[in-house]
Structure 1
Amino acid sequence: NYQDCILIVDKGKKEVSSTLGHNLMHDHPFAEQRFKQANNNLGRMSDILQNGNLKEFIKLVESEALSLHAMMLTSNPYFMLMKPKTLEIINKIWNYRLENDSNICFTLDAGANVHLLYPLSEKKEVDFFIESELLKFCQKNHYICDNTGSGSKKINS
C-alpha cells in the first residue's frame, strides 16, 4: 500500500501548457535518447515492482521525474517549471531519507508541485515530516493526501 501526498507549491496557472510542453519534444535534440530511456525504464519498473525492490523503485521514480524536467530545461524555447521551493522540498526529502533510512521518494507533476510517495508503514513518520518540515514550502500550507485503491468497482444505479 502506497501513499501519495501532493505538496502544492504553486496553485497558479502553469507558464507552459502540457500540450505545448509535449510539442516541444518533437524537435528536441535529446528526444530520441529520452524515448529510449523511458522505454527501458518502463521495463525496469515492471521488474522492480515484481521484485519489490524499494531502493531501485526510489531511484527510478526520481530519475524519471528529474529527466522530464531536464527535457523542458533544454528545449527551445526552454522553461523552468520547478520553483525554488520545489528544489528546497526535494533537498529536504533527500536529507530525510538519508537520516531516517526511509523509503520516501518524490515525483513531479508538470509544474512546481511535488508528489511524495511512501509506504503505508511509514505514514505516521512521514505525516509528521510533512507537517514539521515541508508545509512551510506549500502555498497556503496546502497539500492533498491519497493512497492506492483496490481498483474499480461496478456501481448499480
Structure 2
Amino acid sequence: MKSRGRARAYANIALIKYWGKRDEKLVLPMNSSLSLTIDCFYTETEVIFRKDVDRDYFYLNDKLQGKDTTEKVSKFLDLFRKAAGLNLSAVVKSRNYVPTAAGLASSASGFAALAAAANVASGLNLDNRQLSIYARQGSGSAARSIYGGFVEWKKGSSHQDSYAVPIDDAQWDIGIVIVMVNSMEKLISSREGMKRTVDTSPFYKVWVESAEEDLKHIKIAIRNRDFKKTGLIAERNGLKMHAIMLGANPPFCYWEPDSLKVMQIVRQLRREGIYCYFTLDAGPNVKILCRLSESHKIKDRLIQFFDPDQVIIAKPGPGITIL
C-alpha cells in the first residue's frame, strides 16, 4: 500500500446552483446542479498515513490548523480509513490557491484534492464516480471538481447515486472573468446560509422546481454550443438563488455595492454587443461567463473601475491531477 498521496483539484463555478441539502450528514442536495471547472484557482494536498503520529495533523498554507478545522478533515479521512481497513493517523498538508470562504469554491477544490490524495494514500483506487461520492461528503460542490469542463452533479435518490458526471469539455471559446470584489471570509457561511434558506424561505420549494428546469435547458444549450442561451440561463438561475435568500428569516444578502457595479457593467457590455453573463455564489465576488476570445476586452472595461489585480481571466480547467 502506498501510504502517501498528493493531488491537485481545481475550483468550479456553478452555473446552475446547488443551494440546500435534503440530508445534512450525507450532503445530498435538494436539486441537481451544473458547473464549469476553471484553471486559475486550485488546491494541492498531500496525505501521509503514518505509524509515528497519535492523531491527525492538518497544515493549511504551512500553518497548523486548530481542533475544529482538523476535526472536519479527520472525519472525512475516516471514510477512507474505514473502507481501507486502515488504523493510522495522518499528516495532511494543503496549499490553497483560492481565497478561503470568499464564495470562490475553495471548499470544492479543497475536498476534491483531499479525496484524491486520500484515495492514493489509502490504496483504495476508487474510480472517479466513486471518488465524486466521497468528495461530496466533504463539501457538496467538491463532487463536481473531480472533473474538468462542464460538469453535472446528479442529485440522485440515495447516497450511492448522487455523484457528478462530465458533460462537455468546454473547449469552444468559453471563459470566465472573475471580479474579486472582496476576498475576505464571508460573515454567513454557505452551510449556515443554505440551512436558513431551506428552513425559512417561502420561495424555496419553487426554486428547487425552477432549478431542475434550468438544468434541463442549459444542458441542451451546451450540447448545441449555444453560448447566449447558456449565459442567459446561468445568469437568471444565479439571480433566483439570491432572491430566495432575501425571503429567508432573517433575510440576508451576499452582495456588496461593487457586486452591483459589476452587474451593471456586464449589462452595458451586452448592449454594446459583447455578450457576457454574470453569476454570484455565496459571496460578493462576480463571475462573468464570456467567450474566451473577448475576455481581454471585458477585463479592459472592468479595470477602468477596479484594480487590475481584482480582475482575473480563467479558462476551463481540468479534472483532478495526481502529483
Residue aligned with 2:215, SS: helix
Distance change (3 Å), C-alpha of 1:111 and 1:153: closer
Aligned partner (choices 135, 140, 147) of residue 306 of structure 2? 135
Q: TM-score, normalised by structure 1?
A: 0.85
Report the AA paired with residue 236 of structure 2.
S
Match runs of 1:109-124 below 5 Å:
109-124=281-296
The answer for unaligned runs of 5 or more in structure 2 is 1-172
Task: Tell me the distance in 2 between the aligned counterparts of 1:143 and 1:125.
Answer: 12
The one-character-per-residue Cα deviations of 1:57-113 (angstroms, maximum 9, x if unpaired) are 2211110111111111111111021011111110111011111x1121111121111
Aligned partner (choices 197, 205, 221) of residue 48 of structure 1? 221
The answer for the alignment partner of 1:71 in structure 2 is 244
Distance change (3 Å), C-alpha of 1:15 and 1:121: same
Residue aligned with 1:15, SS: coil
**Deviation, structure 1 residue 51:** 1.4
Larger Rg: 2
The answer for the alignment partner of 1:9 in structure 2 is 181
Distance change (3 Å), C-alpha of 1:154 and 1:75: closer
- Report the count of equivalent residues: 150
Identity %: 27
Task: Tell me the distance in 1 between the aligned counterparts of 2:234 and 2:218.
Answer: 9
The answer for unaligned runs of 5 or more in structure 1 is none
Residue aligned with 1:26, SS: helix
Does structure 1 residue 103 correspond to structure 2 residue 275? Answer: yes
Residue aligned with 1:6, SS: strand
Residue aligned with 2:255, SS: coil
The answer for the alignment partner of 2:315 in structure 1 is 147
Which is bigger in relative contact order (C-alpha 8 A, separation at least 6)?
A: 1
The answer for the alignment partner of 2:54 in structure 1 is none
**Deviation, structure 1 residue 5:** 2.0
